[in-house]
A = this chain, B = another copy of it.
Amino acid sequence: MLSTTEENYLKALLQLTLEQAEKGEAGTNELAAQLGVKPATANDMLKKLREKQLIHYEKYGKSSLTTEGKKRAIEVVRKHRLWETFLYEHLGFTWDEVHEVAEQLEHIQSSKLIDRLDQFLNYPSFDPHGDVIPTATGEMKIPAKKTLNEEEVGHHCKMVGVKDNSATFLQYVDKVGLRMNQPIRILSRQPYDELIEIEVNGQKSSVSPRFAENIVIVCNDCELQKKTD
């Protein structure tokens, strides 16, 4: 069984390697910074986790998770996000309060507990931040990316990127109230001029198809694709 600390290292490594998808590996200093410890400390742990066959690591090289290590890391993420969902939906915690407590709850050891919690929450796909909750089998179902213009009326989604990086466009995005990862709801689509009415953080706006085409979103209500990775 892994210690809380070991679990945190695996989780941090997963986060870093997913963020910088190009390489799928992370450096010692980077990992240390992520965890708020000194590089020397992280270095010791890297050797220990290699011994346990949970990571790939060589002296002066970058680190990455083994299949087993990734499985373990994903379990921790699953627990974290299920607890966040519970705190948010059932105990009335706010969006920003859930993380800190979930950091503790994610290390409770009981597979029965987490499976029952999943069931209690009705097998949610997303946590309150809009992040995907891995399934019991360790799959991270990834929602398909598309543009805001392609999204259906009534659906909930969130912005994960933009296609146009001009200052003019970005300022406009800001004015509409769009922020990365913030939930967006499609209220309506005017048949006359194709203007899309959206709601973001309580603020309603109408945007043109031209604008919407440059906003990359993931849909929370659409079918998810299984990702074996």
Is A226 in contact with chain B by the CB < 8 A criterion?
A: no
- Mask: chain A, 100-116; 1 = CB below 8 Å from B; 0 = not: 11001100111011001
The A interface is mostly helix, strand or loop, or mixed, namely helix
Give A90's nearest chain B residue, CB to CB: B120
Q: Does A1 contact B (CB under 8 A)?
A: no
Q: How large is the interface on A (under 10, 10 to 19, 20 to 34, 35 or more residues)?
A: 10 to 19
Query: Closest approach, in angstroms, between the C-beta of A166 and any C-beta of chain B?
Result: 44
A107–B2 alpha-carbon span in the complex (Å):
18
A191 at the interface (CB under 8 A from B): no
Contact among B87, B108, B119, B120 with A113 in the assembled complex (CB-CB below 8 Å): B87
Q: Which residue of B lies closest to A91 (CB)?
A: B116
Q: Chain A, 106-143, contact with B by CB distance < 8 Å: what is the 0/1 string?
A: 00111011001101100000000000000000000000
Determine the chain B residues whose CB is within 8 A of the CB of A97 once the complex forms.
Answer: 112
- Interface residue? A202 (CB, 8 A): no
For A93, the chain B residues whose CB sits under 8 A away are: 112, 116
A92 within 8 A of B: yes
Copies of this chain present in the complex amount to 2
- 12 A-B Cβ contacts within 8 A? A87-B113, A90-B120, A91-B116, A92-B116, A93-B116, A97-B112, A100-B110, A101-B108, A101-B110, A101-B112, A101-B113, A104-B108
| Bound: A117/B105 CA distance, A | 14
* 18 extra interface residue pairs, beta carbon distance < 8 Å, beyond A87-B113, A101-B110, A101-B113: A90-B120, A91-B113, A91-B116, A91-B117, A91-B119, A91-B120, A92-B116, A93-B112, A93-B116, A97-B112, A100-B110, A101-B108, A101-B112, A104-B108, A104-B109, A104-B110, A105-B105, A105-B108
Enumerate chain B residues within 8 angstroms of A90, measured Cβ to Cβ: 120
Which chain B residues border A104 with CB–CB below 8 Å? 108-110
- Residues on B with beta carbons closer than 8 Å to the beta carbon of A120: 90-91
Bound Cα distance from A62 to B93, whole angstroms: 43
